[in-house]
């Protein structure tokens, strides 16, 4: 499900400062949803749940029967009497992004799904070259993500988070699968570029199937994570669930030039699990050898590659001995729990001159590193990574466990905040006092609703506007801001959209109690006021 708030310029005059918010909400028309809705016999979810894959009590028989049921339903869906063919099993419920005229909803079990802005209608699956129901699709018969062949269905699966290089406008993604090669890299150039699209290039050095939810990008390199969080049915042989964490294994970072995954360099560190990261710092829990610090925090890693370690060839200037190749420094930037980090897209190319990272935290209850456990967010945090990195490099903390800023959330809340950014944080908020004593929606005609808060990013203490929505927006994963230029620049498709100004969209995943936030520099400060 997608929920969005459109900020439409009032009076039809693009020069006016009046803004009228409009709420939009749509179920995504995935193959899984369409098949389940049209079938009279499917009463349980088509796919095995993440809880089943994580549960150590799940038996081999239960897992095999669940997978056989899924495969049988996929085969039956191809019969003429089927309500909808199951071509893709993605539910497109994790994140949303914009690239080269397309808004895309993503999930790790399939390719991205294109949606229309601002109506949020489903357009079709995106294969790296074109989306279904796009006029130009008929003239391009080349294979996209996954190529062709018996395993192309699986090879088309992308990571849950795709990255867009803000300089070259390239879309970067990975394809982690359960067959060799276990990880492949794809890059989608923008339409204005004449560069070829390198699809499904193998990344050497990964020895087993891995969960790669996210990855990092810099101006010229890509960083992927080979973590001891494995995925495979053969885990049953050693008494572990399908998705399991191996505390005895090392965590590895693979760093390679953007277009040369074959030149990857693997750098090892203590075991950890990482689900989200940014262009430079990454959010990751402390190593499990420190059980009292099993926490999701914002980490700093400094990689030294062989070329940089060797120094400039032919230079006669006296310099300090270069650091050996590897991870030169790694420590925690802040002691607080920190998840769902985000930066203003305008600042990705200005690192480290503008280095505030925004994210979610909690006052009292820490995050758990175990997957599947919900955490309710009650704090939005802004971390000045430029200052903390400089402080840590000048006086390095203990490797891995050490922390630059050891203050707690209550201590930070009472401290004065720096006035550095000029933009806005947008997030959905729900007041749970509207629920009954059992945490359920009340019966009858009682209407409960969420709000969209617009928060001043300069201090993040001031809520400058609250948009009361006509219904509750379920707790979701991630959101995105699409400006009026993005909406106007959408590629044509075979459905009629409506003119719009800008829209804030979030994606909802039922069963997870999480919030998200993002930075928007696009709204004019004079237009954001009122409650």
Which of 511, 519, 517, 509 has the alpha carbon at shortest distance from 108?
A: 509
Cα(521)–Cα(139) distance, integer angstroms: 38
Burial of 161 (0-12, 13-18, 19+ CB in 10 A): buried
Q: CB 238: neighbour CB atoms within 10 A?
A: 8
Cα(531)–Cα(455) distance, integer angstroms: 12
CA max distance for the chain: 81
Cα(434)–Cα(53) distance, integer angstroms: 33
Would the CA dihedral through 15, 19, 22, 24 be positive or negative? positive
DSSP 470: S
The set of residues, in sequence order, having a beta carbon less than 8 Å from that of 329 and lying 6+ positions away, is 300, 301, 302, 392, 393, 396, 399
Cα(112)–Cα(97) distance, integer angstroms: 10
Is 478 known to sit in a ligand binding site? Answer: yes
Cα(456)–Cα(525) distance, integer angstroms: 9
The set of residues, in sequence order, having a beta carbon less than 8 Å from that of 217 and lying 6+ positions away, is 163, 165, 172, 223, 258, 279
Is 99 known to sit in a ligand binding site? Answer: no
Identify the residue whose tokens are 């995935």. Answer: 30
Is 461 known to sit in a ligand binding site? Answer: no
Which of 130, 137, 140, 177 has the alpha carbon at shortest distance from 156?
A: 177
Cα(30)–Cα(87) distance, integer angstroms: 10
CB 111 within 8 A of CB 156: yes
Cα(7)–Cα(20) distance, integer angstroms: 6
Cα(70)–Cα(153) distance, integer angstroms: 15
Q: Which amino acids are annotated as binding site for Fe cation, given as ranges?
A: 161, 213, 478
Q: Which amino acids are annotated as binding site, given as ranges?
A: 161, 213, 478
């Amino acid at each position: 499900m997608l929920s969005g708030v459109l900020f439409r310029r009032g009076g039809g005059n693009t020069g006016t400062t009046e803004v009228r918010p409009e709420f939009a909400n749509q179920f995504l028309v995935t193959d899984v949803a369409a098949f389940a809705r049209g079938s009279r016999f499917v009463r349980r979810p088509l796919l095995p749940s993440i809880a089943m894959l994580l549960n150590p009590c799940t038996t081999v028989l239960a897992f095999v029967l669940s997978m056989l049921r899924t495969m049988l339903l996929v085969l039956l869906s191809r019969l003429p009497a089927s309500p909808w063919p199951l071509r893709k099993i993605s539910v497109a419920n994790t994140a949303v992004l914009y690239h080269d005229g397309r808004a895309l909803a993503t999930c790790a079990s399939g390719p991205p799904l294109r949606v229309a802005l601002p109506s949020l209608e489903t357009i079709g699956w995106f294969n790296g070259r074109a989306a279904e129901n796009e006029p130009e699709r008929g003239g391009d018969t080349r294979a996209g993500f996954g190529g062709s062949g018996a395993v192309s269905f699986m090879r088309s699966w992308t990571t849950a988070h795709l990255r867009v290089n803000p300089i070259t406008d390239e879309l970067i993604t990975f394809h982690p699968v359960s067959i060799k090669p276990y990880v492949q890299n794809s890059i989608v150039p923008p339409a204005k570029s004449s560069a070829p699209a390198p699809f499904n290039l193998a990344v050497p050095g990964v020895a087993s199937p891995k969960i790669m939810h996210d990855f990092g990008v810099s101006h010229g390199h890509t960083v992927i994570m080979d973590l001891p969080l494995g995925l495979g049915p053969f885990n049953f042989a050693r008494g572990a669930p399908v998705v399991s964490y191996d505390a005895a294994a090392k965590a590895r970072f693979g760093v390679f030039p953007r277009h040369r995954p074959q030149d990857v360099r693997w750098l090892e560190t203590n075991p950890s699990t990482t689900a989200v990261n940014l262009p430079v710092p990454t959010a990751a829990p402390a190593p499990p050898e420190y059980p009292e610090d099993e926490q999701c925090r914002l980490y700093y890693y400094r990689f030294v590659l062989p070329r940089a370690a060797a120094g400039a060839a032919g230079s006669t200037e006296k310099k300090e001995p270069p650091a050996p190749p590897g991870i030169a420094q790694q420590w925690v930037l802040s002691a607080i729990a920190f998840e769902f980090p985000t930066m203003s897209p305008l600042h990705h190319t200005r690192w480290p001159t503008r280095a505030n990272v925004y994210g979610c935290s909690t006052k009292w209850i820490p995050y758990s590193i175990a997957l599947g456990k919900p955490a309710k967010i009650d704090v939005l945090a802004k971390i000045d990574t430029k200052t903390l990195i400089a402080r840590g490099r000048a006086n390095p903390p203990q490797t891995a466990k050490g922390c630059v800023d050891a203050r707690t959330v209550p201590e930070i809340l009472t401290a004065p905040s720096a006035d550095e950014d000029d933009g806005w944080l947008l997030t959905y908020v729900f007041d749970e006092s509207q629920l009954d004593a059992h945490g359920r929606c009340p019966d009858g005609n009682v209407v409960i609703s969420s709000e969209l808060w617009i928060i001043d990013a300069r201090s993040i203490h001031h809520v400058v506007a609250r948009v009361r929505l006509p219904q509750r927006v379920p707790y979701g994963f991630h959101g995105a801001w699409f400006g009026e230029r993005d909406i106007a620049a959408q590629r044509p498709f075979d459905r009629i959209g409506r003119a719009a100004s800008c829209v804030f969209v979030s994606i909802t995943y039922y069963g997870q109690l999480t919030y998200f936030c993002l930075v928007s520099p696009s709204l004019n400060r004079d237009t954001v006021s009122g409650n």
